[in-house]
């Protein structure tokens, strides 16, 4: 009775309302209701079926209600609401997650009644296809325009929906609108206007035609072929659910004359018809061949569009093109010197092509990549968490090869250079080897190991088709309140310089000869310059407190602290440099704070001029938008300051058009453009991209391999810094009963930190690795209670693993939802375990945590930093398989009030000084002051002889003597010379380092 009443009501309205659509044909299936809005679907969210709102800010979700309306198109009520959205907002109807998905495949489309307000705004309507549930499905979208008044039935055929490229909750599934597993729909309401809406009677309508479930695709949109060769285009018939087609499908093809190739001269025109008879199975293929003709002239690439007219199925989204490869031109000759190839290519480029080379877009913004060709894009990137689906090495390689194929359709066929933030391993890739973050590598004091970690990273990155890494970060972190502190090797420029061996691990030889190899990538020194020195409270970016703020320094401080690592990087042949978001205020120069992307004195003058940097400068993500003035001023300022390529992830169209306008108007010189493009092309030639643009996956089997993980395991072990070890609690013995507690003992996400799989990282298990707890279980008798709620009696020792949860960049700034205190749960776990037994506390964090009030109750304290995926490395030192050898890369403060506190400060009284680190594997030399005197003489001799290894070993012995005497009685008179000694040792002044350690010994 209810259903009959509904249909009668709809029929009457169809006849009466002026905007009603005609009745469905007799052979159409009856409409299937989705929402009647009479109360049959509750306001609820997953996993229950229901309607719920969402938005970008707390005030963005609309207000919904079921409203009684006498003019309701169906029944007595409608869904009504009000909205005032500044970011984004809307509402969703999801089916129940614990019930089967719905099958919409027999219908033509979805329709609903909308109460028009005639505001001219577009309203996005999306449907949810496949996946695990409504919030883990694939989103397909279209829109309608509210340009009418009163009720109107909006009909949307399923053929109108397109795959969303700007956002997918699971990164996309199969990019096919299957319709057999549907989870509901969602509407996105207009932004920037206060309004109200009403809708009613959402239902599926009509009979699905074959073109909805059958489609014709080609094996590629671009088909390169050498001049004189024959291009082969494979045409495939595919159906939803792999069912055979009921009716014939025909594909008429012909070579169109709208391309740049000339018929009869460059190719032989072809035409014909392919037929897939009724009953043809999904996956059937046919082949079209297009012969090209050879002449003797050198030429740029030429295109031949292949027009396809499809009957009975959905046609390909794009017209496929045959591309006759460029040939015979000097820039294509690999035997010529790079500079000659660059000069030749540059001479052939139009302004639009040059601007394209200076433009970098995000992969998510270009969809399947057509804009790579349209805008002659020179580069793409994956931001943090921007990955293909599935997130596998093969999928990465296929994706990047697809984008490179688009570049083959451009006139000059300049390959793309694809970049990622692989800052501690190939961290966007699930299953990759994740190294300790840089702060942990700085704690190792092992430059050779740093180089090996870089080599592993480069190998895994290049094996997925990526030739460019936005790493290493050469910031000198001077304030642990900074959310990027863990990206720094340490607070001492000498330490940062010593760890720049990682550049050779990434790039190979300083002259760039190894860049073309299948296990090397172009590296990036970032963030030029002074990003680690920003003042707390100086940031003006959102809620950030220190990141992207202002660095105020004298010229001498700038040179000694922040510029020093870049001199080393340039000497090591770094290929690219990225400026900082932050501003630089050089005291006394009269300029005040100036954004680094605008500081031509530093980029052009110091980096490229004085230092002789011959690579190219890449901007940070949308960084030019933070410059003063209008958008043309942003572009002009950054380009003139020396930024060669702009990372404009979603604004690449505006950037390229604006830069071209600025050049044509004479406000940016063509000479500057040519300089930028020459620098970019030089690196592309050095990388061998012109000869080998596609992924070389021969090294893919080594991704996450035992050999690579062994390097990460060693790095994790060497990064562990033993700060205190009373009663010889560490190393643990296999026969001890160990009680393990704490939030970070069994959490791979916390252990790997930010920049892991996603930009911010996440707690939990999101990639492959071994937690600290799992590693300890391999070595000893372990009982685990995360919150220490299990009984504590009967154990020999406790290990409490505490610390931070993941964050990245300014999101992690202290004062932006973060502090340096352990959580209440972690504090409780430490207190309970350490009161019940001897205990060791491991702090897994990106920066020091304040534990001074608990230090007396803790027997052993370890700074574990963020050790990466290989928790075995931590267990190795806990159980004595390897000695503790790590040393503090930053000063460990007593309180937040001391910050910033750094080696070299006039006033210096930390909890643990820079360079502090006990050992469990080396016997401390005896003899006290007499031994120190002998070590000092020997160290001075080693310094004069240039015997670095000997000098460092002598300083280490002296350091162990001091640490044993001092114990936990660290005072300011001990801490300052002790920290100074570590800096002196890093700069090769071994005799002076031992003298400082002797001073600390006497003060103790």
Calpha distance 512→173 (Å, rounded)? 39
3-class secondary-structure state, position 126: strand
Backbone φ and ψ for 419, nearest 5 degrees, come out as -125, 150
Q: Which residues of 601-615 are buried (b: 16+ CB within 10 A; e: fewer)?
A: bbbbebbbeebebeb
Q: Tell me how far apart the alpha carbons of residues 366 and 706 are, in angstroms, rounded to a whole number.
A: 36
Is cis: bond before 731, omega within 30 of 0? yes
Q: Contact 503/559 with Cβ under 8 angstroms?
A: no
Among 545, 447, 459, CA closest to 489? 447
d(CA 772, CA 875) in angstroms, rounded, equals 7
Alpha helices in 128-265 (DSSP H): 210-213
Distance separating alpha carbons of residues 322 and 307, to the nearest angstrom: 11
* Contact (CB, 8 A) for 169 and 136: yes
Go through the chain and tell me how many residues it has. Answer: 1004
First-to-last alpha carbon distance for the chain, in angstroms, is 93
Instruction: Give the residue among 641, 594, 592, 591 at the shortest CA–CA distance from 619.
Output: 641
- Which residues 6+ apart lie within 8 Å of 893 measured at CB? 480, 848, 850, 899, 901, 910, 911
Residues 6+ apart with CB under 8 A from 390: none
Quick one: angle between helices 948-966 and 972-986, nearest 10?
Answer: 170
Tell me the sheet residues that pair with 78.
67
- The whole-angstrom separation of Cα 131 and Cα 819 is 38
3-class state of residue 556 by DSSP: helix
Task: Show Cβ contacts of residue 482 under 8 Å, excluding neighbours closer than 6 positions.
Answer: 532, 534, 546, 547, 813, 847
CA 844 to the chain's CA centroid: 22
Secondary structure of residue 422 in the 3-state scheme: coil
Q: How far apart are CA 329 and CA 713, in angstroms?
A: 49
Please give the distance of CA 993 from its chain centroid, rounded to a whole number: 41
Q: Compute the distance between CA of residue 222 and CA of residue 730 in angstroms, rounded to an integer.
A: 62
| Rounded Cα distance, 837 and 313, in Å | 73
**Number of Cβ within a 10 Å radius of residue 224:** 18
Render 667-690 in DSSP notation, one character per residue: SS-HHHHHHHHHHHHHHHHHTTTT
3-state SS class at 51: strand
Provide the annotated active-site residues: 620, 809
Give CA–CA dist 410/591, Å, rounded.
44
Distances (CA, A) of 821 to 182, 764, 843, 895: 46, 21, 11, 10
Calculate the alpha carbon distances from 375 to 113, 221, 308, 689, 917 in Å.
Answer: 40, 16, 24, 19, 54
Helices 670-686 and 338-348: crossing angle in degrees, nearest 10, is 130
Peptide bond preceding 900 in cis form (omega within 30 of 0): yes
Sheet containing strand 616-617, edge to edge, reads 524-528, 576-579, 616-617
């Amino acid at each position: 009775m209810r259903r009959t009443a509904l249909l009668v009501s709809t029929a009457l309205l169809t006849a009466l309302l002026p905007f009603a659509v005609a009745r469905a044909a007799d052979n159409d299936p009856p409409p299937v209701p989705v929402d009647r809005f009479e109360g049959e679907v509750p306001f609820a969210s997953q996993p229950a079926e229901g309607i719920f709102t969402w938005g970008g800010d707390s005030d963005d979700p609309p207000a919904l209600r079921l409203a009684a309306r006498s003019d309701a198109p169906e029944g007595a009520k409608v869904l009504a609401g009000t909205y005032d959205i500044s970011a984004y907002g809307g509402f969703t109807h999801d089916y129940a997650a614990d019930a089967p998905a719905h099958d919409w495949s027999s219908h033509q489309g979805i329709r609903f009644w909308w109460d028009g307000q005639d505001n001219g705004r577009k309203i996005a309507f999306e449907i949810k296809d496949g996946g695990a549930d409504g919030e883990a499905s694939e989103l397909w979208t279209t829109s309608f325009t509210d340009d009418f008044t009163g009720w109107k039935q909006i009909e949307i055929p399923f053929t109108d929906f397109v795959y969303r490229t700007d956002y997918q909750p699971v990164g996309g599934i199969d990019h096919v609108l299957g319709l057999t597993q549907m989870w509901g729909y969602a509407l996105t309401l207009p932004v920037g206007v206060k309004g109200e809406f009403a809708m009613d009677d959402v239902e599926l309508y009509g009979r699905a035609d074959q073109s909805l479930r059958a489609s014709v695709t080609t094996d590629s949109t671009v088909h390169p072929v050498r001049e004189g060769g024959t291009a082969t285009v494979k045409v495939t018939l595919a159906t939803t659910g792999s069912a055979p087609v009921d009716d014939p499908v025909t594909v008429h093809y012909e070579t169109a004359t709208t391309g740049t190739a000339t018929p009869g001269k460059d190719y032989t025109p072809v035409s014909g018809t392919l037929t897939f008879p009724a009953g043809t199975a999904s996956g059937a293929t046919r082949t079209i061949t297009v012969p090209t003709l050879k002449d003797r002239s050198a030429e740029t690439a030429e295109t031949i569009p292949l027009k396809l007219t499809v009957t009975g199925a959905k046609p390909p989204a794009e017209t496929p093109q045959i591309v006759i490869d460029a040939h015979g031109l000097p820039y294509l000759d690999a035997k010529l010197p790079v500079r000659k190839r660059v000069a030749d290519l540059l001479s052939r480029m139009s302004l639009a092509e040059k601007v394209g080379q200076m433009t970098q877009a995000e992969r998510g913004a270009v969809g399947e990549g057509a804009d790579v060709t349209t805008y002659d894009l020179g580069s793409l990137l994956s931001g943090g968490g921007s990955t293909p689906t599935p997130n596998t090495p093969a999928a990465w390689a296929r994706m990047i090869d697809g984008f490179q194929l688009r570049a083959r359709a451009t006139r000059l066929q300049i390959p793309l250079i694809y970049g990622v933030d692989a800052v501690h391993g190939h961290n966007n890739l699930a299953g990759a080897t994740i190294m300790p973050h840089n702060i942990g590598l700085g704690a190792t004091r092992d430059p050779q190991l740093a180089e090996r970690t870089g080599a592993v990273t480069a190998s895994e990155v290049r094996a997925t088709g990526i030739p460019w890494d936005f790493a290493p970060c050469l910031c000198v972190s001077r304030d642990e309140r900074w959310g990027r502190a863990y990206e720094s090797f340490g607070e001492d420029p000498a330490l940062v310089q010593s760890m720049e061996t990682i550049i050779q691990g990434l790039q190979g030889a300083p002259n760039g000869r190894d860049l073309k190899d299948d296990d090397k990538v172009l590296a990036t020194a970032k963030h030029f310059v002074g990003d680690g020195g920003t003042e707390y409270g100086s940031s003006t970016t959102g809620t950030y407190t220190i990141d992207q703020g202002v660095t105020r320094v004298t010229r001498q401080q700038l040179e000694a602290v922040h510029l020093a690592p870049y001199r080393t990087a340039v000497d090591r042949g770094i290929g690219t440099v990225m400026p900082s978001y932050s501003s630089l205020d050089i005291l006394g120069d009269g300029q005040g704070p100036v954004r680094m992307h605008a500081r031509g004195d530093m980029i052009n003058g110091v980096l490229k001029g004085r230092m002789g940097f011959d690579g190219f400068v890449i901007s940070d993500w949308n960084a030019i938008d933070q410059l003063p003035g209008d958008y043309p001023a942003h572009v002009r300022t950054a380009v003139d300051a020396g930024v060669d390529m702009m990372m404009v992830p979603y604004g690449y169209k505006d950037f390229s058009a604006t830069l071209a306008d600025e050049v044509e108007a004479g406000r940016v010189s063509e000479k500057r453009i040519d300089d930028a493009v020459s620098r970019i092309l030089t690196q592309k030639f050095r990388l061998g991209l012109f000869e080998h643009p596609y992924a070389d996956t021969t090294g893919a089997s080594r991704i996450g391999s035992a050999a690579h993980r062994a390097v990460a395991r060693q790095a994790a072990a060497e990064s562990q810094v033993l700060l205190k070890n009373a009663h010889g609690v560490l190393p643990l013995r296999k026969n001890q009963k160990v009680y393990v507690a704490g939030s970070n003992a069994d959490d791979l996400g916390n252990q790997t930190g930010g920049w892991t799989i996603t930009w911010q990282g996440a707690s939990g298990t999101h990639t492959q690795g071994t937690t600290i707890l799992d590693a300890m279980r391999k070595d000893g008798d372990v009982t685990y209670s995360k919150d220490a709620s299990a009984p504590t009696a009967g154990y020999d020792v406790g290990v409490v693993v505490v610390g931070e949860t993941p964050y990245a960049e300014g999101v992690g700034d202290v004062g932006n939802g973060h502090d340096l205190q352990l959580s209440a749960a972690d504090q409780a776990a430490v207190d309970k375990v350490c009161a019940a037994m001897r205990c060791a506390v491991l702090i897994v964090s990106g920066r020091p945590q304040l534990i001074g009030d608990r230090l007396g109750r803790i027997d052993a304290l370890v700074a574990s930093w963020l050790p990466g995926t290989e928790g075995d490395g931590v267990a190795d030192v806990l159980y004595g398989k390897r000695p503790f050898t790590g040393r503090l890369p930053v000063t460990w403060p007593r309180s937040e009030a001391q910050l910033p506190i750094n080696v070299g400060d006039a006033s210096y009284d930390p909890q643990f000084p820079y360079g502090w680190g006990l050992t469990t594997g080396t016997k401390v030399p005896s003899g006290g002051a007499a031994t120190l005197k002998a070590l000092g003489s020997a160290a001075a001799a080693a310094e004069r002889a240039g015997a670095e290894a000997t000098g460092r070993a002598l300083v280490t012995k002296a350091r162990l003597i001091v640490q044993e005497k001092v114990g936990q009685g660290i005072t300011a008179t001990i801490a300052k010379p002790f920290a100074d000694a570590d800096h002196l040792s890093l700069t090769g002044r071994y005799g002076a380092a031992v003298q400082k350690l002797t001073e600390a010994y006497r003060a103790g």
